């Protein structure tokens, strides 16, 4: 009987092995994809692309009997050679080649120059050729940083006593009513795709007190803008026993602080590749919705057209205002009007036209919506009635409240939007691995 023991047998080296310095002058094996070939005649520089970075290898005529003519860019290889310090090479070393073992060969030349530092391809071309364009060092670095954001979210909340949940994405009805739902046939029943884990995370506050989820959500919005996707990853949390809706904002501030530190410590390479400036998160100003409207109307000489909602241009101006007046990258806008928030939003007891809710703007773009929820069953019943709604299809949601729920609130963060702003991109698709929008369902 043979056993698996969890031990990896390979003796190929990682970049981190070489960077210890202990392999200097020695012969090692390493694998990678051939990112770029620079043929100087008697010397050929062959740069490997690996998950941990670029590695320069050097072929010298006569030194080894490699069939150099067979080598092509995007071939996957295992090289054998001697490690040698070289200041001009990436990571300060190169491998003087003795052998190249070809693991696979491409059958066609690349349609885009992924090995250029900047590809100069249109967004459409990059998305059409996504499996290839992501091989570009800068493109893939974006999604390493995106990984860091999600990791920061989970690790921070885990340390704060939150439990991760997995709520279903197929359901009988949506959390926010009938609009913008993708519909499907589910074994001869009508079903919809979840536009948010809202109801589930709230119900689970009655079980775990604090919960989070990082999962896709689906919105059949017919928007075609630079900031909308029809499927995106939502970072959601919901926390019980809050004494004020401000605790939710403090928790988000804590998450952002932790995550920016995580990026600086664990993703320094990617930050440098993309020249990302880490935004300030030590203190995040908060301003009331009506006050924010007034401030930007005054400062930028603008007429308030819609007192109940923020237009994208107003959000951008609030971002500009926060930067100019408070030197802030982020700003919480609080107390959104009740009529623009869902039925479960908690109204401000001091003025029921407004809610104990907030959006977080990151350089003028909404990246989070959150707030305190109604936790009292009678109040929830009343609110439904006021809105002319019934609890049809929400029986189990209402049941959780009927049997007691703590005061609670939470938020949802759009992962791709947060990544986009961190990267300084102006289109959310730049920060989406495989975007889904009105026109794009592939690849």
Kindly give, in sequence order, each residue whose CB lies less than 8 Å from that of residue 392, ignoring residues fewer than 6 positions away: none
Residue placing its CB nearer to a second copy in the complex, 51 or 275: 51
349 lies in the site for a second copy, by CB under 8 A:
no
Name the residue among 292, 281, 289 with its Cα closest to residue 252.
Answer: 281
Residues 275-304 that bind a second copy (CB under 8 A): 281-287
Residues 365-424 that bind a second copy (CB under 8 A): 375-378, 395-397, 399-400, 402-407, 415
352 lies in the site for a second copy, by CB under 8 A:
no
Return the bridge partners of 193, or none.
Answer: 170
10 lies in the site for a second copy, by CB under 8 A:
yes
Name which position in 88, 189, 275, 305 contacts a second copy (CB under 8 A): 189
228 lies in the site for a second copy, by CB under 8 A:
no
259 lies in the site for a second copy, by CB under 8 A:
no
Residues 20-49 that bind a second copy (CB under 8 A): 31, 33
Residue placing its CB nearer to a second copy in the complex, 66 or 251: 251
Return the bridge partners of 214, or none.
Answer: 235
Least distance CB 87 / a second copy (angstroms): 26
Residue 46 contacts residue 34 (beta carbons within 8 Å)? yes
DSSP classification of residue 428: G
Return the bridge partners of 216, or none.
Answer: 233
* E strand spans, 114-188: 163-164, 170-171, 183-186
176 lies in the site for a second copy, by CB under 8 A:
no
- Helices 137-159 and 246-266, interaxial angle, to 10°? 130
Residue 191 contacts residue 173 (beta carbons within 8 Å)? no
Least distance CB 353 / a second copy (angstroms): 21
Return the half-sphere exposure (C-beta side, CA atoms, 13 A cut-off) of residue 85. Answer: 5
438 lies in the site for a second copy, by CB under 8 A:
yes
Name the residue among 64, 96, 80, 98 with its Cα closest to residue 32.
Answer: 80
* E strand spans, 395-437: 408-414
Q: Which stretch binds a second copy (CB under 8 A): 38-46, 106-114, 296-304, 342-350?
A: 106-114
Least distance CB 83 / a second copy (angstroms): 19
Residue placing its CB nearer to a second copy in the complex, 43 or 441: 441
Least distance CB 358 / a second copy (angstroms): 10
How many residues in the shown chain lie near a second copy by CB under 8 A? 125
């Amino acid at each position: 009987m043979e056993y698996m023991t969890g031990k990896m047998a390979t003796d190929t080296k990682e970049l981190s092995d070489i960077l210890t310095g202990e392999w200097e002058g020695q012969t090692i094996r390493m694998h990678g994809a051939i990112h770029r070939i620079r043929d100087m005649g008697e010397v050929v520089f062959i740069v490997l692309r690996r998950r941990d970075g670029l590695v320069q290898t050097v072929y010298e005529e006569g030194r080894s009997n490699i069939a150099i003519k067979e080598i092509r860019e995007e071939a996957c290889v295992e090289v054998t050679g001697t490690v040698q310090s070289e200041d001009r090479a990436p990571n300060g070393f190169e491998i003087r080649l003795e052998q190249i073992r070809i693991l696979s060969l491409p059958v066609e030349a690349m349609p885009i120059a992924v090995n250029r530092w900047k590809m100069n391809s249109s967004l459409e071309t990059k998305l059409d050729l996504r499996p290839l364009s992501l091989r570009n060092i800068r493109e893939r670095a974006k999604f390493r940083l995106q990984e860091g954001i999600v990791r920061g979210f989970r690790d921070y909340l885990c340390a704060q006593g939150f439990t991760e949940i997995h709520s279903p994405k197929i359901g009988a009805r949506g959390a926010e009513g009938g609009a913008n739902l993708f519909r499907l046939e589910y074994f001869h029943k009508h079903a919809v795709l979840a536009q948010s884990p809202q109801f589930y995370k709230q119900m689970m506050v009655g079980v775990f007190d604090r919960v989070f989820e990082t999962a896709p959500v689906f919105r059949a919005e017919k928007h075609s803008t630079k900031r909308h996707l029809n499927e995106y990853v939502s970072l959601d949390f919901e926390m019980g026993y809050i004494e004020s809706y401000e605790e939710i904002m403090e928790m988000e501030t804590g998450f952002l602080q932790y995550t920016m530190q995580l990026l600086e410590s664990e993703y320094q390479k990617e930050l440098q590749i993309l020249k990302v400036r880490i935004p300030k998160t030590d203190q995040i100003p908060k301003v009331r919705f009506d006050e924010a409207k007034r401030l930007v109307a005054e400062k930028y000489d603008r007429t308030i057209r819609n007192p109940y909602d923020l237009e994208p241009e107003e959000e951008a101006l609030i971002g500009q205002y926060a930067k100019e007046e408070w030197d802030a990258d982020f700003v919480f806008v609080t107390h959104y009007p009740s009529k623009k928030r869902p039925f479960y939003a908690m109204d401000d007891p001091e003025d029921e036209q407004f809610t104990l809710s907030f959006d977080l703007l990151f350089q003028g773009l909404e990246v989070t919506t959150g707030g305190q929820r109604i936790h009292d069953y009678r109040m929830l019943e009343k609110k439904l009635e006021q809105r002319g709604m019934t609890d049809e299809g929400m029986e189990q949601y209402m049941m959780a409240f009927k049997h007691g729920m703590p005061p609670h609130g939470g938020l949802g963060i759009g992962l791709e939007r947060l990544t986009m702003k961190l990267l300084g991109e102006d289109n959310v698709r730049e920060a989406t691995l495989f975007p889904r929008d009105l026109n794009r369902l592939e690849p």
